Amino acid sequence: MNGMPGIKESTRERVQELARELGYTPSRFARGLVQGSRTSVGLAIPDLTNPYFPAFASSVVELATQRGWHIVVDDYGHGGRTGLDAVDHLAPQVDAVIGYLGGYAEQAQAVMGRRPLIVLDETPGGAAGSINFDYAEAAKLAVDHLWNTNRRNIAYLDACSSSLIGSGQVPTGPSKFGAPEVVAQVPSTEAEAGPCTVRGRAVTGRLYGTGAPWALVTAAETAEAARAAAAALLRERPETDGILVFNDLMAAGVLKAVHEAGLRVPEDCAVIGMDGIPLGEFLTPELSTLALDLREVGRAAVELLEGLLAGAVAPGSDAARLTLVHQLILRESA
Amino acid sequence: MNGMPGIKESTRERVQELARELGYTPSRFARGLVQGSRTSVGLAIPDLTNPYFPAFASSVVELATQRGWHIVVDDYGHGGRTGLDAVDHLAPQVDAVIGYLGGYAEQAQAVMGRRPLIVLDETPGGAAGSINFDYAEAAKLAVDHLWNTNRRNIAYLDACSSSLIGSGQVPTGPSKFGAPEVVAQVPSTEAEAGPCTVRGRAVTGRLYGTGAPWALVTAAETAEAARAAAAALLRERPETDGILVFNDLMAAGVLKAVHEAGLRVPEDCAVIGMDGIPLGEFLTPELSTLALDLREVGRAAVELLEGLLAGAVAPGSDAARLTLVHQLILRESA
DNA sequence: CTGAAAGCGCTAACAC
DNA sequence: GTGTTAGCGCTTTCAG
């Protein structure tokens, strides 16, 4: 008996005392069954080890907690699991899911049934809600900045892990995870082994627009892989004077590679990352980046979910498709 | 009806089709009530923004997922919440809690009742299980290394936020969050405004043992605050030739401050952090640190919890009190 | 002020 | 093969 009025004080204490001795804990299921659930939300994340995701998660958890929601996380980055596995795991336990799924929006929404699913950085339409980023605009900002500071041999380092691939297609080009290589050296419209991410398509599209030569390299989504890829790039194409990188974590690796190649950043070669995670400010030189306000991304997701849950916004409607824009933050590296 | 044998295929499909149309989703409560719960574990974390915690969380989530557990996270670092608030929030939803509580072990265990609570980096005894770190040994490793490389004016930068204070006592000395100052300049046994963390006590104890002069500075647990504090330290005590830092994140700030003061690291002033997070390798110079194997810490927590849950280890027993040791990883900064 | 009883949504065991 | 029923542990309502 917890806080019910009209109970003798002595009885209450006697009962509570006994309960404590017996180690009694009310079943959350029976309680939830009868009281109507606290809402609990699944958060599917590809890799907590990339600082981008905890930064995002932190914001989501904060906002969710304010609303009295519970957040159940699943980091599906281990053991070959996919975003769909994560949703499968979360589904029986939650009322909604927010996640970077890496391409399973439709199937994931199917396992969630009527419960809202919000996917980030993925083609909209499959899920009840989606949050996307305007990569065309981002690519414009970054490529134009490099161009305007007289970079004429720009390279783009793309990620090629499965987690963030927009189309779900892994190109069958010469680039492998272990052996990074320059996969395209153009101008050309569609290299057969083209970019594998939506970011990649936006950036290479813009690069193509410059008319100057440019390169595309891919690597797995880690700093180490990026470092190796950048080293290879610099060896094969020493004239490279600007590198745009898939994300800030990989950019950290690139910074190291450029330094190791004996080049100065940004004088000899500029580097621009993407994400805007705090890590960038600690690097030497400090990383210029296409920054997202991670707290805003979290807020967008939580507020969209709130709308969906309340019925204020219709699943799949235009109001459920948000697009956020990057901001070019110029620090030292470009 | 989901996967029960002895049902006509047509019926099953008809039912499932209808269910889909109606948007039916089985209540997780009713289901849990009758089936016996999947175990779900709360994870209380002071600040997902400090890379240490996601690294730890990542490991816990991975191991928990392997066991089919669900992880409910609460980042209590926002809005003035404490570790106890986090446990209060999590308790009705989980079967156990693992957390960096920052000093509420006993009260938190009380709200959990018989359900196991595992606290990290906190005086053991209050909770069913605890994981601690051998700071005496860590301090020995680091201080002795500095000493052996002829550092004779060592400083220790301690954290003074509430989250990780062992004793729960915030000293009333001259040091404030906004205005970092050298709080003690000794040798002395017990400066009235002494270290506020158990790490601080271990380090200053060892420093005292050297007989040489040393300094104690405190700052809030962020890179920015640490940077300001280190700048102040270097101004007031320019002879400082070695700085030991509460954690790696703060050490990143210190590295910047030392650089800005026109000093070379490690030639003029060595810097050693604590934690061993990946961030350290990206810094320039690469950070030497007292490293924990974060995956091991996660494993220790999860396996201890498994033992507690299975009844294989008794709550509060010696077997439920683990102590892990740091390893000194020498990179470039010391 | 306290005990008894109904019912939350589901599954499992049972008769039809 | 298919419909019916008991009961999971709790809260709430209603008699005592």
pLDDT 10s digits, B215-228? 999 999 999 999 99
Q: From the CA of B154, how many Å to the nearest CA of chain A?
A: 23
Residue of B nearest to A114 (CA): B23
- Res. B4 pLDDT band, cuts 50 70 90: low
pLDDT digits (tens, 9 = 90+) for B31-70: 988 887 789 999 999 999 999 999 999 999 999 999 999 9
Alpha helices of chain B — where are they, by DSSP H?
A: 9-22, 28-35, 52-66, 83-90, 105-112, 135-148, 198-210, 223-236, 248-260, 279-282, 294-310
Q: Which of A9-23, B7-21, B63-77 has the highest mean pLDDT?
A: B63-77
pLDDT at A1: 62
Answer for the pair A184, A194: CB distance below 8 angstroms, yes or no. yes
Contact yes or no for A24 and B113 at CB 8 A: yes
Q: Mark yes or no for CB contact B282/A278 under 8 Å.
A: no
Q: What is the pLDDT of residue B162?
A: 42
pLDDT tens readout for residues A29-86: 999 888 877 899 999 999 999 999 999 999 999 999 999 999 999 999 998 999 999 9
Residue with tokens 């599917």: A44
B146 has a pLDDT exceeding 60: yes
**What is the DSSP track for B150-168?**
T--SEEEEEE-SGGG-SSS
Tokens matching residue B287: 């950070």
Pairing of strands A182-186, A214-219: antiparallel
Residues whose CB is less than 8 angstroms from the CB of residue B312 and which lie 6 or more positions away in sequence, other chains included: B306
Judging contacts by C-beta atoms under 8 Å, the chain A residues touching residue B51 are 51, 54, 279
Pairing status of strand B117-120 against strand B70-75: unpaired
Name the minimum distance, in Å, from the CA of B275 to any CA of chain A: 15
Mean pLDDT of chain A: 88
Q: Which two tokens stand for residue A267?
A: 């004088």
By C1' distance from the Cα of B35, the closest nucleotide is C11
With a cut of 70, say whether residue B184 has pLDDT above it: no
| Nucleic strand C within 7 A of Cβ B33 | yes
% of chain A at pLDDT higher than 90: 76
Q: Which of B69, B73, B74, B256 to mutate to test the interface with A (most CBs of A within 10 A)?
A: B73
Please state, in angstroms and rounded to a whole number, the distance separating the CA atoms of residues B331 and A97.
Answer: 41
Q: Does the pLDDT value for residue A169 go beyond 80?
A: no
- Per CA to C1' distance, which residue is closest to D7? B34
Contacts of residue B55, defined as CB under 8 A and 6 or more positions apart, other chains included, come to A48, A49, B277, B278, B294
Check CB contact under 8 Å for A33 and B29.
yes
Sequence-distant (≥ 6) Cβ neighbours of residue B163 within 8 angstroms: B46, B47, B77, B83, B100, B102, B221
Give residue B186's pLDDT band: very low, low, confident or very high (50, 70, 90): very low
Which pLDDT value is given to residue A296?
Answer: 97
| Pick among A16, A58, A256 to test the B interface (most B CBs inside 10 A) | A58
Q: What does pTM read for this prediction? A: 0.90
What average pLDDT does the segment A12-23 reach? Answer: 79
Q: What Cα–Cα distance (Å) separates residue A188 from each residue in A170, A197, A208?
A: 20, 17, 7
Distance of CA B282 to the CA centre of its chain: 21
- Closest chain B CA to residue A94: B28
pLDDT (0 to 100) of residue B178: 32
Contact flag B48-A38 (C-beta cutoff 8 Å) = no
Q: In 3-state terms, what secondary structure has residue A151?
A: coil
* Tokens linked to A46: 């590809």
Lowest mean pLDDT among A31-35, A100-104, A129-133, A316-320: A31-35
Residues lying close to strand D (Cβ under 7 A), chosen from 283-322 of chain A, are none
A251 to chain B, any CB pair closer than 8 A? The answer is no
A114 shares contact with chain B (CB less than 8 Å): yes
Strands of chain A, DSSP E: 40-45, 70-75, 96-99, 117-120, 129-133, 154-159, 182-186, 214-219, 242-245, 270-275, 288-291, 321-324, 327-329
pLDDT at B171 over 60: no
Q: Residue A213 and residue A101: Cα distance in Å, rounded?
A: 34
The stretch A264-288 carries a mean pLDDT of: 96
- Residue in A49, A116, A36 with CA at minimum distance from that of residue A78: A49
Q: What is the pLDDT of residue B318?
A: 96
Chain A residues closer than 8 Å to B259 by CB: 284
Taking Cα atoms as reference points, which of B96, B129, B93 lies closest to residue B112?
B96
The rounded distance, in Å, linking the Cα atoms of A185 and A156 is: 11
Which residues of chain B lie closer than 8 angstroms to A20, CB-CB? 113
Measured in degrees and rounded to the nearest 5, phi and psi for residue B68 equal 80, 10
| Other Cβ atoms closer than 10 A to A89 | 20
Q: How near does any CA of chain B get to the CA of A1, in Å?
A: 15
Any idea which nucleotide's C1' is nearest the CA of A1?
Answer: D11
- Which has the higher per-residue pLDDT, B155 or A169? B155
Q: Which residues of chain A from 220 to 239 reach within 8 Å of chain B, CB to CB?
A: 223
Rounded distance, CA B256 to CA A175, Å?
Answer: 37
Helix (H, G, I), strand (E, B), or coil: what is residue B116? coil
| A158: pLDDT strictly greater than 60 | yes
Q: Which nucleotides of C are covered by protein (CB under 7 A)?
A: 1-2, 7-12
Range of lowest pLDDT (A142-151, B33-42, B264-273, B291-300): B33-42
Minimum Cα–Cα distance from B31: chain A residue = A29
Tell me what the mean pLDDT of segment B233-255 comes to.
97
Bond prior to A195 in cis (omega within 30° of 0): no
Asked whether residue A232 carries a pLDDT value surpassing 80, the answer given is yes
Contacts of B230 (CB under 8 A, 6+ apart): B157, B217, B243, B253, B254, B257, B258
Q: Give residue numbers, 43 to 82 of B, with CB < 7 Å from strand C.
A: none
Whole-angstrom Cα distance, residue A257 to residue B2? 54
Task: Judge if the beta carbon of B30 is closer than 7 A to nucleic acid strand C.
Answer: yes
Nucleotide lying nearest to B7, CA to C1' measure? D1
Please tell me the distance from the alpha carbon of residue B224 to that of residue B203, in angstroms, as a whole number: 22
Confidence band, pLDDT 50/70/90 cuts, at residue B193: low
* 3 state DSSP class of B256: helix
Residue to test with chain A: of B2, B18, B24, B29, most A Cβ within 10 A: B29
The answer to whether A179 CB is within 7 Å of strand D is no
Full strand arrangement of the beta sheet holding A214-219: A182-186, A214-219, A154-159, A242-245, A270-275, A288-291, A327-329
Interface of B with A in 38-77 (CB under 8 A): 38, 40, 47-49, 51, 53-55, 57-58, 61-62, 65-66, 70-75, 77
State residue A298's pLDDT score: 98
Higher per-residue confidence, B288 vs B18: B288
Q: What is the DSSP letter of A319?
A: G
What is the bridge-based pairing of β-strands B327-329 and B154-159?
unpaired
Show Cβ contacts of residue A168 under 8 Å, excluding neighbours closer than 6 positions: A103
Phi, psi values for residue A23, rounded to 5°: 70, 40
The CA distance from B121 to B102, in Å, is 8
Query: Which burial class, exposed, middle or buried, applies to A286 when counting CB atoms under 10 A from its CB (0-12, 13-18, 19+)?
Result: middle
DSSP B15-67: HHHHHHHHT----HHHHHHHH-PPPEEEEEES-TTSTHHHHHHHHHHHHHHHT
Residues A201 and B289: their CA atoms lie apart, in Å, by 40
B161: confidence class by pLDDT, cuts 50, 70, 90:
low
| Cα B78 to Cα B242: distance, rounded to the nearest angstrom | 33
What does the block give as tokens for B98?
């693992």
Separation CA B102–CA B125 (nearest Å)? 14
Taking an 8 Å cut-off on Cβ atoms, the answer to whether A40 and B72 are in contact is: yes
Which one of B18, B31, B282 makes the best mutation probe of the A interface by having the most chain A beta carbons within 10 Å?
B282
Residues sharing a CB contact under 8 Å with residue A109, sequence separation 6 or more, in sequence order: A117, A126, A127, A128
Reported as a single tens digit per residue, the pLDDT across A291-330 is: 999 999 999 999 999 999 999 999 999 999 999 999 999 9
Three-state DSSP class for residue A52: helix
Verify whether the Cβ–Cβ distance A252 to B282 is below 8 Å.
yes
Confidence of residue B19 (pLDDT cuts 50, 70, 90): confident
Residue B16 beta carbon within 7 A of nucleic strand D = no
Q: Which candidate from B32, B75, B90 shows the least CB-CB separation from A58? A: B75
